[in-house]
């Protein structure tokens, strides 16, 4: 049981480059989210999805795009990388909505450096 | 919007000492969750609290949910080196978002 899989684990980008962070889950979860983790800032929500074809913005969406064409996959796209996007990115999933207290399953994370 | 504030940001203890982290929300929460992240790892779910005044224990860890469902705490008795990591609380914002506190990073002197 793979759970939530993120690729790549590490990435270095030059300012202005674009890239896609991949996230896939094999638990048939409806809810998926992307977070970024910065020192002293905790986990901040970038974008989230409540099902295939449905996405919405979180707290810090600028500079990022998402799509959800299947239940399994929720890629995060950086349109034009900036040094301020240097961070650790986590994808999380849950089988239903957070209001019920269900746990979030996290991927291993992608450590991104923008130079 | 709803914020979840967590204190302290850092805590360093001697092995065997107790540790407590506190979480406060600006609004009433339907539930609160706690996660642990080991250094270099990803957050892992520890527990959820749903009822007002609820107290749950996991071995040396005690979790409390306030009567007003706006605050929570995690207390570790007699810390061990395996407790090292960052502890996060998280609460739902509406049905569709899960919002995390800033986390408390625990380091332990053996």
Torsion of CA A9, A20, B45, B34, to 10 degrees: 110
Mean pLDDT of chain B: 95
Whether A38 has a pLDDT exceeding 90, the answer reads yes
A95: closest chain B residue by CA: B96
Chain A touched by B43 (CB under 8 Å):
yes
Q: What whole-number distance in Å separates Cα of residue B10 and Cα of residue A81?
A: 31
Mean pLDDT of chain A: 94
Nearest CB to A99 within list B6, B95, B100: B95
Angle made by CA atoms B41, A42, A26, in degrees to the nearest 5: 50
Q: What is the mean pLDDT of residues B32-60?
A: 96
pLDDT band at A40 (very low <50, low <70, confident <90, very high): confident
Residues of A in contact with B88 (CB under 8 A): 42-43
Chain A touched by B98 (CB under 8 Å):
yes
Q: Is A97 exposed, middle or buried (0-12, 13-18, 19+ CB in 10 A)?
A: middle
Contact assignment for A99 to B92 by CB distance below 8 Å: yes
- Is the Cβ–Cβ distance between B65 and B80 less than 8 Å? no
Q: Which of B85, B88, B87 is nearest to B107 (CA)?
A: B85
Whether B1 has a pLDDT exceeding 70, the answer reads no
Nearest CB to A98 within list B49, B95, B102: B95
Shortest Cα–Cα distance, A85 to chain B (Å)? 18
Q: What is the mean pLDDT of residues A38-60?
A: 92
Residue A38 vs residue A101, higher pLDDT: A38
Query: pLDDT tens across B68-93, in order?
Result: 999 999 999 999 999 999 999 999 98
């Amino acid at each position: 049981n793979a759970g939530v899989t993120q690729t790549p684990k590490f990435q270095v980008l030059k300012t202005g480059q674009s890239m896609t962070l991949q996230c896939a889950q094999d638990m048939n979860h409806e809810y998926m989210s992307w977070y970024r983790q910065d020192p002293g800032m905790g986990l901040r929500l970038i974008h989230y999805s409540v099902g295939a074809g449905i996405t919405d913005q979180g707290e810090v969406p600028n500079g990022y795009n998402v799509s959800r064409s299947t239940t399994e996959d929720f890629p995060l796209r950086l349109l034009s990388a900036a040094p301020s996007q240097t961070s650790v990115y986590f994808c999380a999933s849950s089988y239903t909505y957070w209001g019920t207290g269900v746990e979030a399953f996290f991927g291993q994370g992608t450590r991104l450096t923008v130079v | 919007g709803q914020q979840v504030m967590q204190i302290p940001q850092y805590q360093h203890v001697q092995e065997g000492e107790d540790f407590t982290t506190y979480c406060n929300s600006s609004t009433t929460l339907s539930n609160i969750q706690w996660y642990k992240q080991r250094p270099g790892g990803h957050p892992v779910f520890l527990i959820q609290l749903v009822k007002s005044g609820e107290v749950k224990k996991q071995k040396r860890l005690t979790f409390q949910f306030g009567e007003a469902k706006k605050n929570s705490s995690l207390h570790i008795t007699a810390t061990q080196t395996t407790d090292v990591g960052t502890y996060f609380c998280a609460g739902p914002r509406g049905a569709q978002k899960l919002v995390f506190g800033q986390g408390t990073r625990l380091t332990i002197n053996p």
